[in-house]
Amino acid sequence: DNSHLSIVHASQVIDMGEHPAQAIRKKKDASIVVATQLVKDGACDAVVAPGSTGAAVTAALLGLGRIKGIERPCIATPIPSKKGITVLLNSGANANSKPKHLVEGAIMGSHYAKYILGVDKPTVGLLNIGEEASKGNELAQATYPLLEKLKTISFYGNVEGRDIPKGTVDVVVCDGFVGNGI
């Protein structure tokens, strides 16, 4: 039954090679802009964006705004695992993250797992090259103690890529450059 579906025409398209912010501002009738406005107006609940990731993230930022206290958006990708779903954040919205952005991703991912996936007390892992706290690049090493101190999430510690399909944790957080490659 698709009687609840409707099609809303959009006369413009943002091409993959276009600069996202410039295109969003210039092409007010692009499909991603129109779809984001429909969410803002309450006419729909979500947007699926198979086109330019940059345009989708920019349309959401400019059209819907940020969550209070969140500086940078994340792309959350639910990945099937042996235990259900593992949510990966960030899957490409920001390639150059700071530790505070990974902390924001951990918080948003924990909320996603709890309120969207129904996980009672989601566990959060930091993607790294080993499970030891001392492992990883500067970003991972600086982020680990921040996540460890955070009382609003259940921080598991470092996880490796192989832990995602195992379902070792409910949420895996990393920067968008790494997450986009998974």
Q: Which CATH number characterizes residue 89's domain?
A: 3.40.50.10750
In a domain, 122, yes or no: yes
| pLDDT the model gives residue 89 | 95
Structure tokens at 166: 């195992």
Q: What is the pLDDT along the chain (182 residues), one digit of tens a residue?
A: 888 888 899 999 999 999 999 999 999 999 999 999 999 999 998 888 888 989 999 999 999 999 998 988 899 999 999 999 999 999 888 888 999 999 999 999 999 999 999 999 999 999 999 999 999 999 999 999 999 999 999 999 999 999 999 999 999 999 988 988 88
**47 and 110 share a domain?**
no
In a domain, 70, yes or no: no
In a domain, 71, yes or no: no
**104 and 56 share a domain?**
no
In a domain, 104, yes or no: yes
**86 and 155 share a domain?**
yes
| pLDDT the model gives residue 49 | 86
**8 and 84 share a domain?**
no
**166 and 142 share a domain?**
yes
| pLDDT the model gives residue 93 | 81
pTM: 0.88
Residue type, 109: G
**35 and 85 share a domain?**
no
Q: How far is 11 from 5, CA to CA, in rounded Å?
A: 19
**54 and 82 share a domain?**
no
* Count: domains in the chain: 2
In a domain, 129, yes or no: yes
In a domain, 52, yes or no: yes
| pLDDT the model gives residue 48 | 85
**60 and 92 share a domain?**
no
In a domain, 166, yes or no: yes
**17 and 48 share a domain?**
yes
Neighbour-count burial of 5, counting CB atoms closer than 10 A to its CB (0-12 exposed, 13-18 middle, 19+ buried) = exposed
Domain around 90: 76-180
